[in-house]
Amino acid sequence: MKIARVVLRHVGMKLKAPFKTSFGTTTEKEFLLVEAYDEDGVVGYGESTAMTDPYYNEETLKSNHHLLRDYLIPLVLNNTFAHPDECVELFAPIRRNMMAKAAMEGAIWDLYAKREGLSLARALGGVKERIPVGVSIGIQPDITGMLQQVERFLAEGYQRIKVKIMPGFDVDVIAAIRREFGDIPLMADANSAYTLKDAEHLKKLDAFHLMMIEQPLAHDDIVDHATLQRQLETPLCLDESIHTVEDARKALDLGSCRIINIKVGRVGGLSLSKQIQELCASRNVPVWCGGMLESGIGRAHNIAITTLPGFVLPGDTSGSNRYWHADIIEPEVTVENGFIQVPESPGIGYRVDRRRLDACTLASETYR
Ligand code: OSB
Ligand code: MG
C-alpha cells in the first residue's frame, strides 16, 4: 500500500442533546477526520476522538492537527505498507498522542480492508456477526430526569445502562434506578471525579450490585485504584488510566481493576486495541469497547473491533440516532433488540454520505 494523498477535515456535528460528564458538557461535537487515498484513488477513513478541550485527556483537536500535519501524515506519505499493523512501529518514536495516531492508523486499516475486499471486522480477525450494545447516559439535572432517560433507552432495547456519576449525583441516583427498574445490567462511570478519601462513600455503591464502577479515581492513577478495589466488592473498570498494553498489564498485576474499557483512540488505534484485548483474554479479564460520541465513521471502527472474541461485555457503541439528527454514514448505525448487525461490505462497511459530510466540514486541507 502506498498512500498518495491525505485529506484532513475539521468536522462539526451538533448533538441532539448536550452530554454532561463530571469533567464538562459537550453540545457540539468537533473532531478531525482523516481520509487516506492510495494511488488508485481508494479511500480509507479514520476519526480522531480528541475533543476540543483537554478535559477527558490531554489531547485536543488542535494538538491532533499538529501531530497529524507535522509528524504522522509525512511519515505515512514517505512509507509503504504491507499491513496496517506496521503503523505501530512507524509511529512508536512519537511519544503518546494516541488519538492522533489512531485517527491516521484507522484510515489505513479501512483502506487496507477495502483493498483486500474484507470487512474491517474480518480484516481484524473479528468473529461476531452482531454485537451486544449498551448506552452511556450523561449527568441529568435531577434524578427524575435520569429515570426518564433510563426508561427510554431500556425501551429502545439497550442491553446495559451506564450512568455518569459525580460527587452529589451518585448513590441516590443509583438507588433510585434500582428501585424503579430492578435488577437491570447497570454500571456507573465517574470520569475520575473521586479520590481515595471518598472510599467510604463509594463503598455504599456495593449494595446495588453494579456490573462495575468505571474510573472513579485520577486519570493517571493505577495505585490508588488497587487500594480502592481491595475495599470494594464491585469490580472496578479502568478507562482514562489505560493507554498501552503495558499499562493494562501493570493494572492487572496490581489488581487496580477487574475489567478494562478499550477505546480505540485512547490506546493508539485498532492494532493496539487488539493487543490489549489479547492480553486481557489470556488472563480471563473481560473487556468492552468505550465510546467518545463518535460520528458514524468512528462508530464503524468501534463496531469492527468489538467483533474480536475478548470483547465479552456490551459496550458504549449506541445507534446513530442516540447522538445525531443525521449521521454522515449510510445506512446509519441501528440497534435492534440490543444488537448492532456487523456490516459485511469491504472496509468500515458503511457508505460515507459525502454531501452530508461536506455540509458538516468546517475546514479541510490536502497533503501529498
Ligand atoms: O468516559 O466513557 C467515557 C464520552 C465522552 C468522553 C468520555 C466518555 C464518554 C462516554 C460516552 O461515556 C460514550 C458514547 O456514547 O460514545
Ligand atoms: Mg469512561
CA-based nearest residue to 9, from 30, 39, 29, 37 = 30
Question: Residue 78 carries which side chain, given as an amino acid letter?
Answer: N
**Distances 134 to 273, 286, 340 between C-alpha atoms, Å:** 19, 15, 10
**Distances 267 to 20, 263, 264, 343 between C-alpha atoms, Å:** 23, 6, 6, 24
Domain 3-117+351-367 has CATH 3.30.390.10: yes
In the annotation, is 250 catalytic? Answer: no
**Residue 21 phi, psi dihedral angles, 5° rounding:** -125, 180
The conformational region for residue 161 under phi > 0 = left, psi -120 to 50 = alpha, else beta, is beta
DSSP notation for 170-204: SHHHHHHHHHHH-S--EEEE-TT---GGGHHHHHG
- Residue that the C-alpha cell 451538533 belongs to: 14
Cα torsion 111, 117, 123, 128 to 10°: value is 130
Of all protein residues, the one whose alpha carbon is nearest to atom 4 of ligand 1 is 292
pTM across the whole model? 0.98
Cell numbers found for residue 59: 489531547
**Distance from residue 263's CA to the centre of ligand 2 (Å):** 9
User: What is the reported pLDDT for 138?
Assistant: 98
135-137/130-132 β-pairing = unpaired
In the annotation, is 263 catalytic? Answer: yes
Q: Which helix (H) or strand (E) holds 357?
A: helix 354-360
Which of 20, 21, 214, 267 to probe ligand 1 with, by most ligand atoms within 8 A of CB? 21
Cell numbers found for residue 351: 457508505
Among candidate residues 62, 164, 197, 203, the one labeled active-site is: 164
Among 3.30.460.80, 3.90.470.20, 2.30.30.40, 3.20.20.120, what is the CATH number of 123-341?
3.20.20.120
Q: Fold identical between 3-117+351-367 and 123-341?
A: no
CA-based nearest residue to 236, from 246, 247, 245, 227 = 227
User: What is the reported pLDDT for 90?
Assistant: 98
CA-CA distance, 133 to 135, in Å (whole number)?
7
Coil, helix or strand for 242?
coil
Q: Is 212 in the pocket of ligand 1 (CB under 6 A)?
A: no
**Distance from residue 5's CA to the centre of ligand 1 (Å):** 31
Instruction: Yes or no: say if 7 and 366 are a contact pair by the CB < 8 Å rule.
Output: yes
- CA dihedral sign, ordered 146, 18, 295, 124: negative
- CA dihedral sign, ordered 253, 257, 260, 264: negative
Peptide bond into 346 cis (omega under 30): no
Render each residue's pLDDT in the chain as its tens digit; 368 residues.
Answer: 999 999 999 999 999 999 999 999 999 999 999 999 999 999 999 999 999 999 999 999 999 999 999 999 999 999 999 999 999 999 999 999 999 999 999 999 999 999 999 999 999 999 999 999 999 999 999 999 999 999 999 999 999 999 999 999 999 999 999 999 999 999 999 999 999 999 999 999 999 999 999 999 999 999 999 999 999 999 999 999 999 999 999 999 999 999 999 999 999 999 999 999 999 999 999 999 999 999 999 999 999 999 999 999 999 999 999 999 999 999 999 999 999 999 999 999 999 999 999 999 999 999 99
**Percent of the chain that is helix, strand, coil (3-state, to 5):** 35, 25, 40
**Distance from residue 191's CA to the centre of ligand 2 (Å):** 6
CA-CA distance, 351 to 286, in Å (whole number)?
32
Domain positions in the chain are 3-117+351-367, 123-341
**Distances 125 to 119, 120, 307 between C-alpha atoms, Å:** 10, 9, 8
In DSSP terms, 367 is beta-bridged to 6
CA-CA distance, 67 to 61, in Å (whole number)?
10
Among candidate residues 101, 114, 263, 274, the one labeled active-site is: 263
Ligand whose nearest atom lies closest to the CA of 216: 2
**Distances 255 to 30, 205, 222, 241, 269 between C-alpha atoms, Å:** 36, 19, 9, 13, 25
